Amino acid sequence: MSILRADHGACQGYANCVVGAPDTYDIDDDGVVVLLREHVSEEERPRIEEAARSCPVSALTVEDE
Protein backbone atom coordinates (compact mmCIF):
# COMPACT_ATOMS: atom_id res chain seq x y z
CA MET A 1 0.00 0.00 0.00
CA SER A 2 1.04 3.61 -0.60
CA ILE A 3 -0.03 6.64 1.37
CA LEU A 4 -1.51 9.77 -0.17
CA ARG A 5 -0.66 13.26 0.99
CA ALA A 6 -2.00 16.67 0.05
CA ASP A 7 -0.59 20.10 0.85
CA HIS A 8 -3.82 22.01 1.44
CA GLY A 9 -2.01 25.31 1.74
CA ALA A 10 -0.37 24.90 -1.67
CA CYS A 11 -3.56 23.76 -3.43
CA GLN A 12 -4.93 26.39 -5.80
CA GLY A 13 -8.06 24.56 -6.93
CA TYR A 14 -6.81 23.80 -10.42
CA ALA A 15 -8.50 20.40 -10.04
CA ASN A 16 -6.49 18.41 -12.58
CA CYS A 17 -6.26 15.70 -9.90
CA VAL A 18 -10.06 15.40 -9.71
CA VAL A 19 -10.28 14.95 -13.46
CA GLY A 20 -7.44 12.41 -13.39
CA ALA A 21 -8.66 10.32 -10.44
CA PRO A 22 -12.18 11.28 -9.33
CA ASP A 23 -12.34 8.23 -7.05
CA THR A 24 -9.41 9.57 -5.02
CA TYR A 25 -9.43 13.35 -5.20
CA ASP A 26 -12.22 15.90 -4.88
CA ILE A 27 -12.36 19.61 -4.14
CA ASP A 28 -14.59 21.45 -1.70
CA ASP A 29 -16.68 24.59 -2.21
CA ASP A 30 -13.64 26.76 -1.50
CA GLY A 31 -11.69 25.00 -4.20
CA VAL A 32 -9.35 23.08 -1.88
CA VAL A 33 -8.41 19.45 -2.50
CA VAL A 34 -10.10 16.72 -0.46
CA LEU A 35 -8.56 13.24 -0.21
CA LEU A 36 -11.32 10.68 -0.58
CA ARG A 37 -9.04 7.99 0.80
CA GLU A 38 -5.64 7.75 2.45
CA HIS A 39 -4.15 4.66 0.88
CA VAL A 40 -3.87 3.13 -2.58
CA SER A 41 -2.75 -0.34 -3.60
CA GLU A 42 0.43 -0.86 -5.61
CA GLU A 43 -1.75 -1.89 -8.52
CA GLU A 44 -3.52 1.48 -8.55
CA ARG A 45 -0.47 3.54 -7.76
CA PRO A 46 0.63 4.41 -11.34
CA ARG A 47 -2.80 5.85 -12.17
CA ILE A 48 -3.00 7.85 -8.95
CA GLU A 49 0.58 9.05 -9.37
CA GLU A 50 -0.24 10.33 -12.83
CA ALA A 51 -3.19 12.27 -11.39
CA ALA A 52 -0.94 13.63 -8.61
CA ARG A 53 1.69 14.64 -11.20
CA SER A 54 -0.95 16.63 -13.07
CA CYS A 55 -1.07 19.11 -10.17
CA PRO A 56 0.42 22.39 -11.42
CA VAL A 57 1.63 23.35 -7.94
CA SER A 58 2.90 19.90 -6.88
CA ALA A 59 0.54 19.81 -3.91
CA LEU A 60 0.04 16.03 -4.11
CA THR A 61 2.35 13.13 -3.39
CA VAL A 62 2.08 9.37 -3.28
CA GLU A 63 4.57 7.90 -0.83
CA ASP A 64 5.74 4.47 0.26
CA GLU A 65 4.22 3.47 3.53
Partner 1 sequence: MSRTALVVGSSVAGIRTAQALCAGGFDGRIVIVGEETTEPYDKPPLSKHFLAGTWDAGKVSLLAGRPLDERVELRLGVPAEHLDIARKYVRLADGTRLPYDQCVIATGAAARPSPWTARDGVHVLRSLSDSAALRQDLLRGGDIVVVGGGFIGAEVAATASRLGGSVTVVDPLPDPMTRVLGPQVGPLLTGIHERHGVRTSFGTGVVSVEGSAGDLRVTLDDGSVLPADTVVVGIGAVPNDGWLRSSGLEISDGVVCDEYCRARGAPEVFAAGDVARWPHPRHGELVRVEHWTNAVEQAACVAHNIIHPDDPVAYRPVEYVWSDQYDWKIQIAGSPARMSGHHLVGNLAGTKPKAAVAYTDADGRLGAAVTVNWPRALVTCRRLLAADADFTQAVTELDLLAAALGERR
Q: Which residues bind partner 1 (CB under 8 A)?
A: 12-16, 18-19, 22, 27-29, 31, 46, 49-50, 53-54, 56, 58
CB 41 within 8 A of CB 1: yes
Nearer to partner 1, 27 or 35 (CB): 27
Taking the complex as a whole, the smallest distance from the CB of residue 13 to partner 1 amounts, in Å, to 4
Taking the complex as a whole, the smallest distance from the CB of residue 50 to partner 1 amounts, in Å, to 7
With a CB cutoff of 8 Å and minimum separation 6, the contacts of 23 are: 36
CB 49 within 8 A of CB 35: no
With a CB cutoff of 8 Å and minimum separation 6, the contacts of 53 are: none
Taking the complex as a whole, the smallest distance from the CB of residue 14 to partner 1 amounts, in Å, to 6
